[in-house]
A and B are shown apart, each in its own frame.
Chain A
Amino acid sequence: DSGVTQTPKHLITATGQRVTLRCSPRSGDLSVYWYQQSLDQGLQFLIHYYNGEERAKGNILERFSAQQFPDLHSELNLSSLELGDSALYFCASSSGTGRETQYFGPGTRLLVL
């Protein structure tokens, strides 16, 4: 158990809908990273938040957004969902923004029908 929690574990929804994925970092960690794992793209970095501030964006679609709240949990919002958004979404947390180890949550599996 990494100490990072993600909810829900599974999500099934329809095209065009909007969903919110939640991540709670390890106690004391200030950084939350979001990653997407799909069959065609593999594992790729989406976005990084540190202590409530956005620090970096990767291959994140404009339909996707994220935020980190004062209690340091983070939410990834996916809107106007398409079939191709079906994937496993991971968050990872680390203590800072340096080369610390990132600890991954169990992931949220999203299926868009």
Chain B
Amino acid sequence: AQSVTQLDSHVSVSEGTPVLLRCNYSSSYSPSLFWYVQHPNKGLQLLLKYTSAATLVKGINGFEAEFKKSETSFHLTKPSAHMSDAAEYFCVVSVWRGATNKLIFGTGTLLAVQP
């Protein structure tokens, strides 16, 4: 069965320092993986997605993630945090069955950015 595990429920960084949000996945076949972001009282916005092309995926707002099959990881990084990055981040795997493609969400990582 497909699943994702987000290793940290809360991460706090200082503005201008790197961000690392960790995600491990479990999948019986080549997965499609995503990172979504949810700002307070807002909907879910796609940051980036991996669908078996390049293992280093670049997303919006300077975020990127690297798919590592040997480690079953898909960690999200950003070189320099901005105050506007404070939000909840979800690692997601899709379960594609031909007729449907439901998303399985991790439990989320709340990112706090300190001035």
| Number of residues of chain B lying within 8 A (CB) of chain A | 24
B52 CB, nearest partner CB in chain A, Å: 9
Q: Enumerate chain B residues within 8 angstroms of A98, measured Cβ to Cβ.
A: 96, 101
Within 8 A of B (CB), among A34-60: 35, 42-45, 48, 50, 55-56, 58
A-B contact number at CB 8 A:
60
Determine the main DSSP class of B at the interface with A: strand
Q: List 18 A-B contacts (CB under 8 A).
A: A31-B101, A35-B105, A43-B105, A44-B105, A48-B100, A48-B102, A50-B99, A56-B100, A97-B100, A99-B32, A99-B51, A99-B94, A99-B96, A101-B34, A101-B46, A102-B101, A104-B45, A105-B43
14 further A-B pairs in the complex, CB-CB below 8 A; given A92-B103, A104-B45: A43-B90, A43-B105, A45-B102, A50-B100, A55-B99, A56-B97, A56-B99, A97-B98, A97-B100, A101-B34, A101-B46, A104-B44, A105-B43, A106-B42
